[in-house]
Amino acid sequence: MNTIQIHDKQFEPFITYATIDETITRIAEQLNTDFKGKTPLFLVILNGSFMFAADLLKKVNIPCEISFVKLSSYSGTQSTTQVRELIGFNEEVKGRSVIILEDIIDTGITMEKILERLNDMGSAEVKVATLLFKPSAFQKEFTIDYIGIQIPNDFIVGFGLDYNGLGRNTKDIYKIVEPKLKKSC
């Protein structure tokens, strides 16, 4: 794997697809055990989670429904406190066991908003599954039930995650290369 350029930034190889695949298999096995006998509704948070969801759901073997919500909270490489709802929730979540599928939890602001909405709409049970988690950026209190890989607070792209719209379509995950500080004499 080589370094890639997206817009004005360089990204270096960080997590291989082999590791991502093993991680997703582990989460799917946990879900198959924990939701045995139930028919949960998987709520996929677009855009970033589409690859995670597609891989995970092929390994989920319990009866389930799948639905999609589109939100956006990022501008460039910084998380913002503004969460725009682009495609809303509907009544289907009422009374259901809902499993939210998220690509990455960073500050937790986006997920907290989603959890509030599901609670308002009367979901019976809500669990959170995220492929990636940045513990040092997390500012919230809610429980993350299924965590794939914990990563440092670096900006990453690939496997669904983007930098200003580009970089979603790689199998592996890449990490931003911070410019090295030049020592002055």
Q: Is 69 in the site for ligand IMP (CB under 6 A)?
A: no
Output phi, psi for 3, to 5 deg: -65, 145
Output phi, psi for 90, to 5 deg: -135, 180
Site string for Mg ion, 102-121 (x = CB under 5 A): -x------------------
156 is in the binding site of which of ligand IMP, Mg ion, none (Cβ under 5 to 8 A by kind)? ligand IMP
Q: Which is nearer to Mg ion, 29 or 116 (CB)?
A: 116
- Burial letters for 147-175: b for 16+ Cβ neighbours within 10 Å, e otherwise? bbbebeeebbbbbbbbbeeebbebebbbb
Q: Which is nearer to ligand IMP, 17 or 142 (CB)?
A: 142
Closest CA to 28 of 55, 67, 47, 51: 55
Say how far apart CA 162 and CA 157 lie, in whole Å: 5
Q: Is 155 in the site for ligand IMP (CB under 6 A)?
A: yes
Say how far apart CA 26 and CA 134 lie, in whole Å: 19
Task: Give the 3-state secondary structure of residue 3.
Answer: coil
- Catalytic site residues? 106
Number of residues that bind Mg ion (CB under 5 A): 2
Q: Is 105 in the site for ligand IMP (CB under 6 A)?
A: yes
Q: Is 106 in the site for ligand IMP (CB under 6 A)?
A: yes
Applying CB under 6 A, which of residues 64, 109, 149, 177 lies at the interface with ligand IMP? Answer: 109
Q: Cβ of residue 146: shortest distance to Mg ion, in angstroms? A: 15
Q: Cβ of residue 149: shortest distance to ligand IMP, in angstroms? A: 12
Say how far apart CA 131 and CA 150 lie, in whole Å: 9
Contact 5, 30 (CB under 8 A): no
Q: Strand 41-46 and strand 156-157: pairing? A: unpaired
Q: Is 131 in the site for ligand IMP (CB under 6 A)?
A: no
Residues 27-56 that bind ligand IMP (CB under 6 A): 48
* Residue number closest to Mg ion, CB atom: 48
Q: Contact residues for ligand IMP (CB under 6 A)? A: 48, 73-74, 79, 102-111, 155-157, 161
Q: Contact residues for Mg ion (CB under 5 A)? A: 48, 103
